[in-house]
């Protein structure tokens, strides 16, 4: 029986002669059609073999071939609507660039530029010159270097300052950021010998002092981005470490994780130190991300004293970790916004979303509820908590508002799955057994799409 069915599966060559497939051959390259036909036949064969399909439908086969082909035209990397409320969502691409930064990327990526050309001298210049001045101006530091991301920045700092030497770090700061970035592993990769001091919860100045010897290359401070140690704890202040660093003539290096340049206290977020604070406390070399709280493109900033930065600028790794021109274009504009803090909060999406007040969010959520109501979708405005994300401020949440949506004949999990696969995908979450979209990360322009997608589900369920 199954053998008879399998024998009835059309042959590739016969299919290619059928009028429906011939039309496709006029639209798509032959190799693509051939591959879609083969995929269609494979899927059909498997469905017959494991009993999911009991017969061969020529129309279904053609339809599946057509859909493979139209899918193959879609880009794999695509925009999504973020309804999670997590502002710096690493899985969803972290920060969104400002309009001005996007325009700069467009212009620089689509034309020739003075990327490595000194226009005044008419000869070779340095790609690192474009944002160094701006970083030094904003942070009042001697020198700056930008590489591919903060992981690269940490690797370069350790390689340039402490290869073959010991790097002293507290046991409370042996961080794993997620995935494969673990401080001890990066140190090993940078050729340093990890010299752990103190304990998980308590490290004293004397622990650092006792560990310093002629093999010491640097003192390392790592920001506990995505965790907090609480209870009976002790962490040495940056000022104390800076004193030890000066006394022993060993550089003090800090991996700050997120590059926060503005105090977030006015927005209710405490305990996330700014880059300026660390530099003022006496850190010699500091690294941070471009696309976390800074709100710019993926990049790794290294700032601090020239005598150390010069070693990095000439290090062979720098070429391998170098930053792209699109990144530099976006970064220059993003950093420029920080010349005026009010401009920064207005233009940089990450900061704007952090700064949104609870009242604004409640009104905004009500606007979405009304918009959904116009399409007969039942929704309520509910209070929720949003997270900053991106390995920053792990213990603090921002009060926000969401719409909770109910659709007859769909469970919250089903709504979540269907919207996740919509075009464009809408990413929401389930809170107290209801599907919710947090307004903190939504844009008003996205309301009509959300309305359409949910209305389609309502219609399907009716």
Ligand X SMILES: *Cc1c(COP(=O)(O)O)cnc(C)c1O
**Residues numbered 397-456 forming contacts with ligand X, rule: CB under 6 A:** none
Half-sphere exposure of 396 (CA within 13 A, CB side): 17
We find the least distance from the C-beta atom of residue 134 to ligand X, in angstroms, to be 19
Count of CB atoms situated within 10 Å of the CB of 47: 14
The binding track of 117-156 with respect to ligand X, each residue x by CB under 6 A or -, is --------------------------------xxx--x--
What residues pair up with 402 in beta bridges, in sequence order?
Answer: 382, 438
Is the bond into 424 cis (omega within 30 degrees of 0)? yes
Site track for ligand X across 307-346, x = CB under 6 A = ----------------------------------------
Strand partners, 287: 255, 302
Q: Which is nearer to ligand X, 185 or 360 (CB)?
A: 185
Place of tokens 């940089």: 348
Using alpha carbons, select from 446, 440, 445, 409 the residue that is nearest to residue 425: 446
Q: Between residue 178 and residue 207, which ones bind ligand X under the rule CB under 6 A?
A: 181
222 binds ligand X (CB under 6 A): yes
Distance CA 134, CA 282 (A): 20
Nearer to ligand X, 175 or 450 (CB): 175
Binds ligand X (CB under 6 A): choice among 83, 251, 297, 391: 391
3 state SS of 404: strand
User: Nearest approach, Cβ of 155 to ligand X (angstroms)?
Assistant: 10
User: Closest CB to ligand X among 216 and 289?
Assistant: 289
Q: Quick one: which of 82, 216, 289, 318 contacts ligand X (CB under 6 A)?
A: 289
The answer for residues whose C-beta is within 8 angstroms of residue 276's C-beta and 6 or more apart is: 139, 140, 261
Token reading at 37 = 């036909």
- Look at residues 266, 417, 380, 327 and name the one whose alpha carbon lies nearest to residue 94: 327
Based on CB atoms, which residue is closest to ligand X, 321 or 402? 321
Query: Dihedral, CA atoms, 386, 390, 393, 395, nearest 10 degrees?
Result: 60
CB of 22 to ligand X, least distance (A): 50
- Among 61, 104, 105, 177, interactor with ligand X by CB under 6 A: 177
The residue within the footprint of ligand X, chosen from 190, 296, 297, 300 (CB under 6 A), is 300
Give yes or no for a contact between 359 and 302, defined as CB atoms under 8 angstroms apart: no
Name the segment binding ligand X (CB under 6 A); options: 58-66, 217-225, 311-319, 365-373.
217-225
Distance CA 291, CA 277 (A): 20
CB of 432 to ligand X, least distance (A): 31
Work out whether 175 is an interface residue with ligand X (CB under 6 A). Answer: yes
- Number of alpha carbons in the 13 Å side-chain half-sphere of residue 192: 27
N- to C-terminal Cα distance for the chain? 39
- Closer CB to ligand X, residue 323 or residue 372? 323
Residues pairing with 176 in the sheet: 182
Distance, in Å, from the CA atom of 367 to the CA atom of 402, rounded to the nearest integer, reads: 11
Select the residue whose beta carbon is closest to ligand X and give its number: 257
Binding mask 255-274 for ligand X (x = CB under 6 A): x-x-----------------
- CB closer to ligand X out of 295 and 300: 300
Give the single-character DSSP code of 225.
T
Q: Considering only CA atoms, which of 429, 430, 421, 419 is closest in space to residue 458?
A: 419
Provide the b/e sequence for 150-167 (b: ≥16 CB within 10 Å): bbbbbbbbbbbbbeebbb
**Shorter beta-carbon distance to ligand X: residue 181 or 267:** 181
Smallest gap from residue 162 Cβ to ligand X (A): 16
Min separation Cβ 430 and ligand X, Å: 27
**CA atoms of 440 and 190, how far apart (whole Å):** 39
Cβ at position 403, least distance to ligand X in Å: 31
Sheet holding 166-170, edge to edge: 143-147, 300-304, 285-289, 252-257, 216-222, 166-170, 193-197
Binding to ligand X by residue 85, rule CB under 6 A? no
Give me the least distance between CB of 158 and ligand X, in Å please. 12
Q: How far is the CB of 225 from ligand X (least distance, A)?
A: 3
CB of 183 to ligand X, least distance (A): 8
Least distance (Å) between residue 124 CB and ligand X: 29
**Contact present, 436 and 430 (Cβ < 8 Å):** yes
| Single residue of 221, 223, 235, 440 touching ligand X by CB under 6 A | 223
Stretch that binds ligand X, among 105-113, 118-126, 174-182, 265-273 (CB under 6 A): 174-182
CB of 128 to ligand X, least distance (A): 18
Considering the complex, state which of residue 151 and residue 330 has its C-beta at the smaller distance from ligand X: 151
Q: Which residues bind ligand X (CB under 6 A)?
A: 149-151, 154, 175, 177, 181, 222-223, 225, 255, 257, 289, 300, 391
């Amino acid at each position: 029986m199954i053998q008879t069915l399998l024998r009835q599966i059309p042959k590739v060559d016969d299919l290619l002669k059928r009028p429906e497939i011939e039309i496709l051959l006029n639209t798509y390259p032959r190799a693509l059609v051939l591959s879609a036909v083969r995929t269609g036949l494979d899927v059909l064969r498997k469905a017959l073999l494991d009993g999911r399909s009991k017969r061969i439908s020529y129309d279904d086969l053609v339809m599946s071939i057509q859909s493979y082909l139209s899918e193959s035209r879609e880009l794999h990397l695509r925009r999504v609507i973020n309804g999670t409320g997590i502002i710096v969502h690493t899985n969803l691409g972290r920060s969104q660039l400002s309009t001005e930064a996007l325009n700069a990327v467009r212009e620089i990526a689509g034309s020739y530029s003075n990327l490595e050309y000194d226009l005044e001298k008419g000869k070779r210049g340095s790609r690192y010159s474009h944002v160094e001045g701006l970083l030094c101006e904003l942070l009042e530091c001697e020198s700056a270097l930008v590489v591919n991301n903060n992981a690269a920045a940490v690797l370069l700092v350790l390689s340039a300052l402490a290869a073959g030497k010991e790097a002293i770090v507290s046991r409370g700061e042996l961080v794993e950021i997620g995935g494969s970035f673990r401080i001890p592993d990066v140190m090993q990769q940078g050729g340093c010998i990890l010299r752990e001091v103190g304990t998980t919860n308590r490290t004293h100045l004397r622990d650092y002092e006792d560990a310093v010897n002629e093999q010491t290359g640097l003192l390392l401070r790592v920001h506990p981005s995505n965790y907090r140690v609480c209870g009976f704890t002790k962490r040495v202040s940056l000022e104390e470490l800076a004193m030890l660093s000066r006394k022993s003539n060993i550089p003090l290096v800090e991996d700050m994780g997120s590059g926060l340049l503005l105090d977030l206290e006015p927005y209710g977020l405490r305990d996330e130190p700014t880059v300026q604070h660390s530099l003022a406390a006496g850190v010699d070399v500091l690294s941070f991300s471009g696309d976390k709280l800074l709100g710019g493109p993926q990049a790794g900033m290294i700032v601090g004293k020239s005598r150390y930065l010069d070693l990095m600028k000439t290090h062979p790794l720098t070429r391998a970790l170098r930053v792209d021109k699109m990144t530099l274009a976006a970064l220059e504009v993003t950093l420029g916004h920080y010349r005026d803090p009010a401009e920064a909060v207005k233009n940089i999406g990450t900061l704007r979303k952090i700064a949104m007040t609870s009242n604004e969010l409640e009104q905004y959520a009500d606007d979405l509820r009304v918009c959904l109501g116009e399409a007969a979708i039942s929704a309520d405005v509910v209070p929720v908590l949003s997270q900053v994300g991106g390995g920053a401020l792990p213990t603090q949440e921002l009060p926000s508002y969401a719409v909770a949506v109910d659709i007859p004949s769909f469970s919250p999990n089903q709504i979540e799955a269907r919207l996740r696969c919509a075009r464009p995908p809408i990413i929401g979450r389930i809170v107290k057994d209801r599907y919710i979209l947090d307004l903190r990360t939504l844009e008003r322009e996205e309301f009509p799409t959300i309305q359409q997608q949910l209305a389609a589900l309502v219609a399907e369920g009716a």
